[in-house]
Protein backbone atom coordinates (compact mmCIF):
# COMPACT_ATOMS: atom_id res chain seq x y z
CA UNK A 1 0.00 0.00 0.00
CA UNK A 2 1.33 3.41 -0.96
CA UNK A 3 -0.29 6.36 0.74
CA UNK A 4 -1.67 9.31 -1.17
CA UNK A 5 0.69 11.61 0.71
CA UNK A 6 -0.87 14.82 -0.62
CA UNK A 7 -4.27 13.81 0.75
CA UNK A 8 -2.78 12.51 4.01
CA UNK A 9 -0.81 15.74 4.55
CA UNK A 10 -4.00 17.75 4.05
CA UNK A 11 -5.88 15.51 6.52
CA UNK A 12 -3.19 15.96 9.19
CA UNK A 13 -3.10 19.72 8.56
CA UNK A 14 -6.89 19.79 8.97
CA UNK A 15 -6.71 18.02 12.34
CA UNK A 16 -3.86 20.28 13.48
CA UNK A 17 -5.97 23.31 12.56
CA UNK A 18 -8.91 21.98 14.60
CA UNK A 19 -6.61 21.33 17.56
CA UNK A 20 -5.03 24.78 17.31
CA UNK A 21 -8.47 26.43 17.36
CA UNK A 22 -9.32 24.62 20.60
CA UNK A 23 -5.94 24.80 22.35
CA UNK A 24 -7.08 27.55 24.72
CA UNK A 25 -3.67 27.98 26.36
CA UNK A 26 -1.67 27.75 23.14
CA UNK A 27 0.37 25.13 24.95
CA UNK A 28 1.21 22.87 22.03
CA UNK A 29 3.06 23.60 18.80
CA UNK A 30 1.00 23.33 15.61
CA UNK A 31 3.22 23.36 12.55
CA UNK A 32 2.77 22.60 8.88
CA UNK A 33 5.33 20.49 6.98
CA UNK A 34 8.41 21.94 5.33
CA UNK A 35 8.36 22.31 1.57
CA UNK A 36 9.53 19.46 -0.66
CA UNK A 37 13.13 18.25 -0.57
CA UNK A 38 15.15 18.90 -3.69
CA UNK A 39 16.46 15.96 -5.69
CA UNK A 40 19.96 17.09 -4.70
CA UNK A 41 19.12 16.82 -0.98
CA UNK A 42 17.46 13.44 -1.52
CA UNK A 43 20.60 12.21 -3.30
CA UNK A 44 22.74 13.41 -0.37
CA UNK A 45 20.36 11.73 2.06
CA UNK A 46 20.72 8.42 0.21
CA UNK A 47 24.52 8.78 0.54
CA UNK A 48 24.55 9.51 4.29
CA UNK A 49 21.56 7.51 5.56
CA UNK A 50 23.56 4.30 5.86
CA UNK A 51 20.58 2.14 4.86
CA UNK A 52 18.53 1.48 1.75
CA UNK A 53 15.55 3.78 2.04
CA UNK A 54 12.08 2.69 0.91
CA UNK A 55 10.53 4.39 -2.10
CA UNK A 56 7.49 5.57 -0.13
CA UNK A 57 9.67 7.53 2.32
CA UNK A 58 11.44 9.18 -0.64
CA UNK A 59 8.03 9.93 -2.21
CA UNK A 60 7.01 11.68 1.02
CA UNK A 61 10.22 13.76 1.06
CA UNK A 62 9.45 14.91 -2.48
CA UNK A 63 6.33 16.55 -1.04
CA UNK A 64 7.45 17.50 2.47
CA UNK A 65 11.02 17.70 3.74
CA UNK A 66 10.13 16.93 7.34
CA UNK A 67 7.52 18.17 9.78
CA UNK A 68 8.21 19.83 13.12
CA UNK A 69 5.60 18.81 15.68
CA UNK A 70 4.31 16.09 13.36
CA UNK A 71 2.70 14.33 16.30
CA UNK A 72 2.44 16.96 19.05
CA UNK A 73 6.07 17.20 20.32
CA UNK A 74 7.53 14.61 17.95
CA UNK A 75 9.15 15.78 14.72
CA UNK A 76 9.19 13.83 11.46
CA UNK A 77 12.69 14.27 10.08
CA UNK A 78 13.64 15.70 6.73
CA UNK A 79 16.90 15.63 4.83
CA UNK A 80 18.63 18.21 7.04
CA UNK A 81 18.17 15.98 10.09
CA UNK A 82 20.23 13.31 8.34
CA UNK A 83 22.82 15.71 6.95
CA UNK A 84 23.35 17.24 10.41
CA UNK A 85 23.46 13.76 12.07
CA UNK A 86 20.43 14.54 14.26
CA UNK A 87 18.91 11.26 13.10
CA UNK A 88 21.96 9.23 14.23
CA UNK A 89 21.95 10.85 17.66
CA UNK A 90 18.53 9.38 18.39
CA UNK A 91 19.48 5.88 17.24
CA UNK A 92 22.44 6.08 19.61
CA UNK A 93 20.32 6.80 22.68
CA UNK A 94 20.68 4.10 25.37
CA UNK A 95 16.96 3.25 25.37
CA UNK A 96 16.93 2.78 21.60
CA UNK A 97 20.14 0.72 21.68
CA UNK A 98 18.66 -1.45 24.44
CA UNK A 99 15.49 -2.02 22.39
CA UNK A 100 17.50 -2.95 19.31
CA UNK A 101 19.69 -5.43 21.24
CA UNK A 102 16.71 -6.98 23.02
CA UNK A 103 14.82 -7.30 19.72
CA UNK A 104 17.77 -8.71 17.80
CA UNK A 105 17.71 -5.84 15.32
CA UNK A 106 21.04 -4.84 13.79
CA UNK A 107 21.56 -1.16 14.70
CA UNK A 108 23.03 -0.42 11.27
CA UNK A 109 19.75 -1.51 9.66
CA UNK A 110 17.68 1.37 11.07
CA UNK A 111 17.62 5.16 11.03
CA UNK A 112 15.55 7.53 13.13
CA UNK A 113 13.06 9.33 10.91
CA UNK A 114 11.43 11.15 13.78
CA UNK A 115 11.85 11.87 17.46
CA UNK A 116 10.99 14.19 20.30
CA UNK A 117 13.43 16.33 22.21
CA UNK A 118 10.99 16.31 25.15
CA UNK A 119 9.70 12.74 25.31
CA UNK A 120 11.30 9.31 24.79
CA UNK A 121 9.56 8.96 21.40
CA UNK A 122 11.49 7.77 18.34
CA UNK A 123 10.30 6.58 14.92
CA UNK A 124 12.74 4.07 13.39
CA UNK A 125 12.78 3.29 9.67
CA UNK A 126 14.11 -0.17 8.79
CA UNK A 127 16.28 -0.72 5.72
CA UNK A 128 14.53 -2.33 2.76
CA UNK A 129 17.40 -4.85 2.77
CA UNK A 130 16.85 -5.92 6.39
CA UNK A 131 15.61 -9.41 7.22
CA UNK A 132 13.52 -7.83 9.98
CA UNK A 133 10.53 -5.71 8.87
CA UNK A 134 12.12 -4.50 5.59
CA UNK A 135 11.03 -0.93 4.79
CA UNK A 136 8.88 -0.82 7.92
CA UNK A 137 8.66 1.66 10.77
CA UNK A 138 8.87 1.02 14.51
CA UNK A 139 7.36 3.52 16.95
CA UNK A 140 9.13 3.57 20.32
CA UNK A 141 8.20 5.55 23.40
CA UNK A 142 9.98 3.99 26.38
CA UNK A 143 8.82 0.71 24.83
CA UNK A 144 7.58 -0.44 21.47
CA UNK A 145 4.22 1.16 20.69
CA UNK A 146 3.61 -0.16 17.18
CA UNK A 147 5.22 -1.72 14.10
CA UNK A 148 4.16 -0.75 10.61
CA UNK A 149 5.03 -2.80 7.51
CA UNK A 150 5.76 0.36 5.49
CA UNK A 151 6.29 4.09 5.81
CA UNK A 152 2.98 4.58 3.99
CA UNK A 153 1.07 2.61 6.60
CA UNK A 154 2.89 4.44 9.39
CA UNK A 155 2.00 7.82 7.88
CA UNK A 156 -1.64 6.87 7.38
CA UNK A 157 -1.82 5.75 11.00
CA UNK A 158 -0.44 9.12 12.09
CA UNK A 159 -3.45 10.79 10.47
CA UNK A 160 -5.60 8.94 12.98
CA UNK A 161 -3.26 9.80 15.86
CA UNK A 162 -3.42 13.50 14.97
CA UNK A 163 -7.21 13.24 14.71
CA UNK A 164 -7.35 11.77 18.21
CA UNK A 165 -5.15 14.57 19.58
CA UNK A 166 -7.46 17.13 17.97
CA UNK A 167 -10.60 15.45 19.27
CA UNK A 168 -9.12 15.26 22.78
CA UNK A 169 -8.16 18.94 22.57
CA UNK A 170 -11.69 19.88 21.52
CA UNK A 171 -13.15 17.79 24.35
CA UNK A 172 -10.78 19.34 26.92
CA UNK A 173 -11.67 22.83 25.66
CA UNK A 174 -15.37 22.10 26.09
CA UNK A 175 -14.85 20.71 29.59
CA UNK A 176 -12.70 23.56 30.91
CA UNK A 177 -14.49 26.49 32.53
CA UNK A 178 -14.76 29.69 30.48
CA UNK A 179 -12.37 32.46 31.37
Tens of pLDDT, residues 35-80: 999 999 999 999 888 889 999 999 999 999 999 999 999 999 999 9
Q: How confident is the model at residue 175 (pLDDT cuts 50, 70, 90)?
A: confident
Q: Is the pLDDT of residue 179 over 50?
A: no
Answer for the pair 170, 18: CB distance below 8 angstroms, yes or no.
yes
Tell me the domains of the chain and their CATH numbers.
5-173 (3.40.1580.10)
Q: Is the pLDDT of residue 1 over 60?
A: no
Residue pLDDT, tens place only, 101-131: 999 999 999 999 999 999 999 999 999 999 9
Amino acid sequence: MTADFKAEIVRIAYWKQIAAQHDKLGALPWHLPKIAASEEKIAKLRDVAGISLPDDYIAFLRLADGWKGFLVLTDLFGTEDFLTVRSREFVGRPDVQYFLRRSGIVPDSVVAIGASEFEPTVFLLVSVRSDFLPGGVIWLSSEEIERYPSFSEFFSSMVNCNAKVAQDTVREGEESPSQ
